[in-house]
Amino acid sequence: MSPMLATQAQANDPSPSWRDSDTLTGDWNGHRPTLEEDGYDIRMSLSWQGAHAFDGGRETGSASNRDVRLSSQFDLDRLLGMPGATFKFGLIERHGTDLGAKRTGSFGRVQNLAGAGLDFRLADLAYQQTFAERRGTLALGLLHSGGDFATVPIVFDFQNNVYSPRALSIGDNSGFAGYPVTQWGVRMQWEAAPGLAVQAAAYEINDDRVRHHHGWRLGFKGKAALLPIELVWKPATNENRLSGMYRLGAYYDSSNEADVLARQRQGRRWGAWLVGQQQLWSGHGDIERGLHAFTQLHVYDRQTAMFRSQVSLGLVQQGTFAGRREDSIGLAFAYLEVNPRRIRHQRELGESHPQVGETTLELYYNYRLARWLALRPNLQYIHRPGGSNRYADAWVGGLTLDFVL
């Protein structure tokens, strides 16, 4: 269907070349801009990831997965005369397997599309309202708690999930749910000063919705509450000041979970983070180009968390060579530290390969073949897969294809 729509659009409209078009399907013979003007913003995308473990780990081998998304946002001011109001609705279909769990035995998922929600499910159902001259924002409905807090946009092109905007250890050690798994919740954000905002939220914790074929269960069955709070600072950007974004936050999870040694129940879990990204310099006076640095630091409750901390550091160069303004290259390091209580317990039991920590390195190049098509090969090195020396260090080659339909 997509090639036919694109061909029809090119035949009836002197649109840009296929490389310069924002989408594979073009402007739908003029219908897409008309819909956007009327308040309907509809977007579609397709992503495919493949990875091959060619040395080390549990065993060598390959795995692949795909992600098809439909996301829409409706401007309720234009449609219903409700100023500052929008409604989001989205669908997603995911399929495949994760090489990390299948081959390398690593903590981190080698392919970030192989996370929770490997099925066809509802991915967005939320109402959002701005107020006080857009200084405040209220959102409620089925939300992605892992996408609202502790996010670092510059890491999206790394394939290993350890660099995910929703840090791996947040998902493992709390009720945070990342895309595409949603939870009923409410989120409030307030701009306290230009570039400075505070946000807080309350989400249900419902493990049932994460399960396979449970993505359409809309009932509220939360067994506990997740309460995060975060301070967000975005320094002003102009020709003399480079862009940046910093987040300091924490969460409280009221779940009644077993402690890290499964000896007793705990009535709470907590965690905190400091994350950010900063442009170090721009390229040839182009603020969209240049070198960016990022960091992610997370710490967790010693009583309940499998991991004590997670830290990642990286560099991303936007605009690589002459004429390649939209290409990028990234290099990152991450370390997952296992909870010392868990390490001590394993040693007391005489475990020959106690889990201490896992280190991951990743290098990628994002080649923009067209505005709607990106080809992104990567190379990953995983030291102590699964946190111990049970398996040899793993080398993984990966490839991601991103289509904007």
Q: Quick one: which of 200, 202, 158, 164 has its CA closest to 184? A: 202
Residue with tokens 């250890």: 169
Q: Quick one: which of 270, 320, 275, 278 has its CA closest to 300? A: 270
Question: What is the band of 167 on the pLDDT scale with cuts at 50, 70, 90?
Answer: low
Residue with tokens 């060579």: 321
The Cα 159–Cα 343 span in angstroms is: 28
In a domain, 33, yes or no: no
Q: Please give the pLDDT value at position 10.
A: 45
Helix ranges, 64-179 (H): 76-80, 99, 145-148, 168-173
The Cα 404–Cα 49 span in angstroms is: 15
Q: What is the mean pLDDT of residues 107-136?
A: 89
Q: Which of 24-33, 76-85, 200-209 has the highest mean pLDDT?
A: 76-85
Residue with tokens 């998902």: 171
Residue with tokens 């399929």: 95
- Quick: pLDDT tens for 200-219: 999 998 877 777 788 888 88
In a domain, 35, yes or no: no
The Cα 6–Cα 4 span in angstroms is: 5
In a domain, 17, yes or no: yes
Q: Which of 11-25, 55-69, 135-149, 366-380 has the lowest mean pLDDT?
A: 11-25
In a domain, 54, yes or no: yes
Q: Give how many domains the chain has, as a whole number.
A: 1
SS3 category, 126 = strand
Residue with tokens 């990743």: 362
Q: Quick one: which of 284, 23, 367, 313 has its CA closest to 154? A: 313
Question: What is the band of 9 on the pLDDT scale with cuts at 50, 70, 90?
Answer: very low
Instruction: Calculate the average pLDDT of the chain.
Output: 88
What does the block give as tokens for 8?
A: 């029809």
- Quick: pLDDT tens for 169-195: 677 777 777 788 888 999 999 999 999
Per the document, the length of the chain is: 405
In a domain, 31, yes or no: no
Contact 125, 142 (CB under 8 A): yes
Beta strands in 183-266 (DSSP E): 183-193, 196-205, 224-233, 244-253, 257-258, 265-266
**CA distances from residue 360 to 10, 115, 293, 340, 342 in whole angstroms, order as listed:** 45, 18, 17, 20, 21
CATH code (residue 328): 2.40.160.180
The Cα 182–Cα 214 span in angstroms is: 11
Q: Quick one: which of 158, 159, 137 has its CA closest to 148? A: 137
What does the block give as tokens for 203?
A: 């989400």
Q: Which of 26-30, 74-78, 344-348 has the highest mean pLDDT?
A: 74-78
Strand bridging mode 224-233 / 244-253: antiparallel
Question: What is the band of 267 on the pLDDT scale with cuts at 50, 70, 90?
Answer: low
What does the block give as tokens for 310?
A: 């997670």
pTM recorded for the entire structure: 0.90
Phi, psi of 82 (to 5 degrees): -110, 95
First to last CA, the chain: 10
In a domain, 372, yes or no: yes
Q: What is the mean pLDDT of residues 359-372?
A: 96
Contact 187, 227 (CB under 8 A): no
Q: Please give the pLDDT value at position 27.
A: 87
Residue with tokens 């309907």: 40
Please report, for the chain, how many H helices and E strands are present, in that order.
7, 18
- Say if residue 138's pLDDT is above 80: yes
Q: Please give the pLDDT value at position 165.
A: 66
Contact 336, 357 (CB under 8 A): yes
Amino acid (1-letter code) at residue 15:
S
- Say if residue 284's pLDDT is above 80: no
Contact 227, 205 (CB under 8 A): no
Q: Give the domain extent around 235.
A: 2-26+42-404
